[in-house]
Amino acid sequence: MYNKISPIINSITSISDKSIGKLNDLVDYINVKKGELITSVGQKNNLEYFIIDGICKSFLNTPNGESVTISLFMSSSIISPCTTRIHEGKSVINIQALTDGEIATIDAGEFEKLMIEDLEIREFGNLVLRNELMAKVEKEIALASLKGKDRLLLLRKNYPNIENYIPHADIASYLGITTISLSRLRTKS
């Protein structure tokens, strides 16, 4: 079977075929349908996720039942690492497919074992964590310091053409604005 995770890994850091082979030995592939929950709050989860194709979001529901989009994940990317999504073995966020797609999964415990024994895999895992932290910080700063228009421009830069693929309600939620405000900003730019 073609190694579908290699391009994703190598987009983060170059690692040897031997190390990629170790990871590939642990991979399972799943197909997801638009709207399908990949994991939900309170559910046991011990997987790392590589999006081969499709778009996903992480989100939470407010006490009023509104969905708040936390992160967006495009094709050829990695969903937030397990250690950032899990508390006491259970998910603290929801992850949902926004389009049909294919996802590679790896057991997080097995991945941790490989990180201990393989320096290249350890460096890759640490870079994924660092990138996750930087993305969260960038979003926090944008929400606190940028106007809606500038947040939309940043979204377009980070996620080209995403407006053509996912519901605008998810985009507005991610940007911290209403769908009406998003519609106004889109007509102005």
What does the alpha-carbon distance between residue 108 and residue 83 come to, in Å, rounded to a whole number?
Answer: 9
8 Cβ contact partners less than 8 Å away, ≥ 6 residues apart: 50, 51, 52, 76, 77, 78
How high is the pLDDT of residue 189?
73
Query: What is the average pLDDT across 132-154?
Result: 95
Other CB atoms within 10 Å distance of the CB of residue 185: 19
Nearest to 67 by CA among 77, 75, 59, 58: 59
| pTM for the predicted model, two decimal places | 0.93
If DSSP codes are grouped into helix, strand and coil, which group holds residue 37? Answer: strand
Residue 2 has pLDDT above 70, yes or no: no
Residue 110 structure tokens = 């097995």
Report pLDDT digits (tens) over 106-142.
999 999 999 999 999 999 999 999 999 999 999 999 9
Q: Residue-wise over 163-173: b if at least 16 C-beta within 10 A, else e?
A: eeebeeebbbb
pLDDT per position as a tens digit, 64-97: 999 999 999 999 999 999 999 999 999 999 999 9
Residues 59-68 have pLDDT tens digits of 999 999 999 9
Give the Cα separation of 5 and 2 in Å (integer). 9
32 CB neighbour count, 10 Å cutoff: 22
Count of Cβ atoms closer than 10 Å to residue 73 Cβ: 23
